Amino acid sequence: MTRLEKPALTAFVWLALLTMPWWMNAIGGYTELASRVLVLGLAAMALNFLLGYTGVLSFGHAAYFGLGAYGVGMMIKFVVPSTPLGMLVGVATGTVAAAVLGLLIVKLRGVYFAMVTIAFGQVFYFIAFRWNSVTGGDDGLTGWKRQALDLGFTQVDLLGNDRAFYYFLLFVFALAVGAMALILRSPFGRTLVAIRENERRARFLGIPVERHIWLSFVISCFFVSLAGTLYALLNNFVDPRALRWDQSGNFVIMAVLGGMRSFWGPLVGAAIFVVLQDYVSSHTENWMSFVGLFFVLVVLFFPRGVMGILARRRATDATKEGA
């Protein structure tokens, strides 16, 4: 079985994540910022499952992210005040929606796929925006809070204790990322990469390409809805902006900035994006221009992303040593 990343890199990433609440505070951030990195990192990695490993360009992942967020919020607010049950409902909502819409779009490719996913993403935005009585409309869904986690022998206070909540997020993140890595290392995952590399050839080998792309889309949306539920829990709040198109664009830029061909790349991209956005928006009102400029610069100068550049540098060093 091939490894996705070098073991040393993976160990380093986990070490950095385990100690993030400390070093994030040391570099002038705060624990909640660390939590944001984790949640949006998971979303970007989920998107990259489709974008980087299947080669399909979805620009509407915020829809499923937002469905997860609204799912957990509405469950806790209206039905049962339970964090795990809320998450279950949120993830189920996002995944079912993706499974249905996925059927409509699996035949499309490239730009066309991107355009349809963007447009479909907006449906949920308008529903959240217009359906005031239930979703709170433009003001967002308020009046609910994440609930303490009941483990049977003890209770974990997720609300009052920032650190405890961070490690709860890290636990969920670890489960999700582990599952993603397992899927990617399985024969199914290798088939997705084959489709990315040469779709026609994969089809000639008898692989049902549409079914694989549909499955990949649904799996990717499953994980992005999970990230959405965590995002809602983190903020104790959801608003329609969580599922608008600009959020989808942010996920894509995180994946590209970190490196689409790398398993951890999108997490690195999310960390850079989140910290930079936090810094810039606390210093200027015109942060949109900065984010926009950032998009342009990444496309023009860093299309391979951070991990891509590192990998290439290593490769050239190796050739030099060989010569």
Partner 1 sequence: MTQLILFNVFNGLIIGAFYALMALGLSLILNLSGVINFAHGGFLALGAYIAYSLSPHIGFWGALVVAPVATAVVGLVVERVLIRRVYGRDPLYSLLLTFGLAYIFEDVLRYIWGAQSVPFPIPPALASPLSPEYFFLTGYRLFMVALVAAAVVALFVILNRTKLGIRIRAGTQDLETVNVLGVNVRILRNLNFGLGTYLAGLAGVLAAGMLGLQPTIGTSLIMPSFVAIIVGGLGSLPGTLLGGLLIGVASGLTTMFFPSATEAVMYVMMGLVLLVRPRGLLGEEGRVQ
- What residues line the site for partner 1 (CB under 8 A)? 51, 57, 59, 101, 104-105, 107-112, 114-116, 118-120, 122-123, 126-127, 130-131, 245-246, 249, 252-253, 256, 286, 288-289, 291-296, 298-300, 303
Sign, Cα dihedral of 112, 114, 115, 120: positive
Nearer of residues 125 and 231 to partner 1, judged by Cβ: 125
**CB closer to partner 1 out of 21 and 259:** 259
Measured in whole angstroms, how far is the alpha carbon of residue 144 from the centre of its chain?
24
With respect to partner 1, which residue has the nearer C-beta, 19 or 286? 286
Q: What burial letters (b/e) apply to 189-223, b meaning 16+ CB within 10 Å?
A: bebbebbbeebeebeeeebebeebbbbbbbbbbbb
User: Exposure pattern of 127-156 as b/e (b: 16+ CB <10 Å)?
Assistant: bbbeeeeebbeeebbeebbbbbbeeeeeee
Q: Least separation, in Å, of the C-beta of 51 and partner 1?
A: 8
User: Cα separation of 160 and 164, whole Å?
Assistant: 9
Q: How far is the CB of 282 from partner 1 (least distance, A)?
A: 17
- Up-side HSE of residue 305: CA atoms within 13 Å toward CB? 26
Smallest distance from partner 1 to CB 296, Å: 4
Minimum CB separation of residue 209 from partner 1 in Å reads: 11
Q: 6 or 107, CB closer to partner 1?
A: 107
Q: Which residue has the tokens 């937002």?
A: 66
Q: How far is the CB of 107 from partner 1 (least distance, A)?
A: 5
Which lies closer to partner 1 via its Cβ, residue 91 or residue 254?
A: 254
Tell the smallest beta-carbon distance from residue 40 to partner 1 (Å): 17
Give the residue carrying structure tokens 């397992």. Answer: 182
Closer to partner 1 by Cβ: residue 69 or 253: 253
Q: Which two tokens stand for residue 277?
A: 């956005």
Total number of residues shown for the chain: 323
